[in-house]
């Protein structure tokens, strides 16, 4: 059976207790484990497939906390490097009354995971494995190199590459830097997950169908287009498979996209996907895969946080059967 390797950011999200305030006016925060790649690994492990996180945290209390939380979800943590040189990453994000987001990030040490600190040769991976990554980890060049190595090694083994551009503009010097890093890595992925809010920014094309087709570059075999409450469309080349979202009582949409792609990749592992059978498998099983992923995303919106909001496999199954 294959394993998901999720590479990149893991950090502590501090969620404001006072809603709608500017960050400087928030007095109390709740501490939650986060970072998009970590959320995806937790979803896959929680539903019952093998998942491992590749990242770096400090040798400090928050590093201990993150490792504990990932292990509790069932994620393997033996590829998490610990360092004394920097503290574990932190993220403070508040949604102001005017709808704008205030950010304050401390992104070391996961952004500085160096090639020489971790074994990422092809022998680290196997056929039937999946590597998932996001663009926030392409901002700094050490991590970009580490990503390139992981992608190449996974490909050598015939594994699947999954990429979520996950645009976070405040982290970049310019929108152009962000776009060009995304377009640099996109052709190396087999699966690209993109949300309706990101499509025009990344492609520069207004027409939805044309924009989606423009993403089929290099090795891209499938594009998963997420549309919030409206569900998601899966494109396998020119073939489009639509799916409806589930109606739930929304509490906090943080981590919905990660839970969605986590559910999607979980299904691929369960079905024994490889880069060779991926297209056929997506054509045959699209309905089941999308239904599971939509249920995973929807249920995650019913609770606060990302990893802490992930449902059990049982809950996903029950929603699917409704
Ligand atoms: P992202 O979080 O990456 O921007 P979306 O907001 O499109 O992505 O959400 C990802 C998936 O999570 C959707 O395709 C859907 O399955 C589920 N989802 C998100 N928001 C809701 C919602 N309000 N109600 C039900 N499902 C949702």
Confidence of residue 322 (pLDDT cuts 50, 70, 90): confident
**Residue 308's pLDDT is what?**
93
Beta-strand ranges (E) seen in the chain are: 3-7, 11-16, 29-34, 50-58, 80-83, 90-95, 101-106, 130-134, 160-164, 191-195, 222-226, 232-236, 239-243
Pocket test for ligand 1, best of 228, 231, 233 (most atoms within 8 A of CB): 228
| Cα-to-centroid distance, 227 and ligand 1 (Å) | 6
pLDDT for position 220: 98
- Give me ligand 1 centre to Cα 291, in Å: 12
Q: What is the mean pLDDT of residues 245-256?
A: 94
ipTM over 0.95: yes
* Helix-, strand-, coil-residue percentages of the chain, each rounded to 5: 45, 25, 35
Confidence at 1, pLDDT banded by 50, 70, 90:
confident
Average pLDDT over residues 77-100: 92
- pLDDT-above-70 percentage for the chain: 100
262 preceded by a cis bond (ω within 30 of 0): no
Residue 254: CB within 6 Å of ligand 1?
no
Q: Does the pTM exceed 0.90?
A: yes
The per-residue b/e assignment along 80-99, b for 16 or more CB within 10 angstroms, e otherwise, is beebeebbbbbbbbbeeeee
| CB 39 near ligand 1, within 6 Å | no
| Residues 63 and 56: beta-carbon distance below 8 Å | no
Q: What tens digit of pLDDT does each residue of 124-146 get?
A: 999 999 999 999 999 998 999 99
Does 30 have pLDDT greater than 90?
Answer: yes
CATH class of the domain comprising 3-320: alpha beta
Which two three-digit tokens encode residue 181? 């890093």
Q: Name the average pLDDT for the chain.
A: 95
pLDDT digits over 200-235, tens only? 999 999 999 999 999 999 999 999 999 999 999 999
How far is 260 from 196, CA to CA, in rounded Å? 14
Place of tokens 């962000």: 178
Q: What is the pLDDT of residues 103-120, one digit of tens each?
A: 899 999 988 899 899 999
The confidence score (pLDDT) of residue 193 equals 98
Coil vs helix vs strand at 75? coil
pLDDT at residue 19, as a whole number: 85
HSE, side-chain direction, 13 A CA sphere, residue 172: 18
Q: Which pair of tokens denotes residue 180?
A: 């060009």
Residue 274, helix vs strand vs coil: coil
Whether residue 264 contacts residue 223, with contact meaning beta carbons closer than 8 Å, is answered with: no
pLDDT in tens, 169-198: 989 999 999 999 999 999 999 999 999 999
What CA–CA distances, in Å, run from 263 to 48, 69, 101, 297? 11, 19, 27, 8
């Amino acid at each position: 059976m294959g394993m998901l390797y999720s590479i990149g950011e893991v950090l502590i999200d501090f969620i404001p207790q006072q809603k709608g305030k500017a960050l400087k006016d928030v007095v109390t925060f709740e501490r939650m484990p986060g970072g998009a790649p970590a959320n995806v690994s937790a979803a896959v492990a929680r539903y019952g497939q093998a998942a491992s996180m590749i990242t770096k945290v400090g040798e400090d209390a928050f590093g201990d906390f993150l490792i504990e939380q990932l292990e509790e979800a069932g994620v393997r943590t033996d590829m998490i490097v610990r360092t004394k040189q920097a503290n574990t990453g932190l993220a403070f994000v508040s949604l102001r009354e005017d709808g704008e987001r205030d950010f304050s990030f401390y992104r070391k040490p996961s952004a500085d995971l160096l090639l020489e600190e971790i074994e990422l040769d092809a022998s680290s991976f196997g056929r039937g494995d999946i590597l998932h990554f996001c663009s926030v980890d392409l901002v700094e060049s050490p991590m970009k190199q580490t990503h390139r190595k992981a992608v190449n090694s996974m490909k050598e083994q015939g594994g699947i590459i999954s990429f979520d551009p996950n645009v976070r503009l405040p982290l970049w010097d310019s929108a152009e830097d962000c776009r060009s890093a995304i377009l640099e890595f996109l052709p190396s992925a087999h699966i690209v997950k993109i949300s309706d809010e990101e499509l025009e920014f990344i492609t520069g094309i207004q027409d939805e169908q044309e924009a989606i087709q423009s993403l089929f570059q290099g090795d891209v075999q499938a594009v998963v287009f997420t549309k919030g409450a409206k569900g998601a469309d899966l494109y396998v080349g020119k073939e489009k498979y639509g799916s409806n979202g589930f109606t739930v009582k929304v509490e906090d949409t943080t981590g919905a996209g990660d839970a969605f792609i986590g559910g999607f990749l979980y299904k691929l592992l369960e079905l024994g996907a490889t880069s060779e059978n991926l297209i056929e498998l997506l054509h045959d099983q699209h309905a089941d895969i999308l239904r599971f992923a939509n249920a995973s995303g929807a249920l995650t919106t019913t609770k606060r946080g990302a990893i802490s909001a992930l449902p059990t496999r049982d809950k996903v199954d029950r929603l699917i059967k409704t």
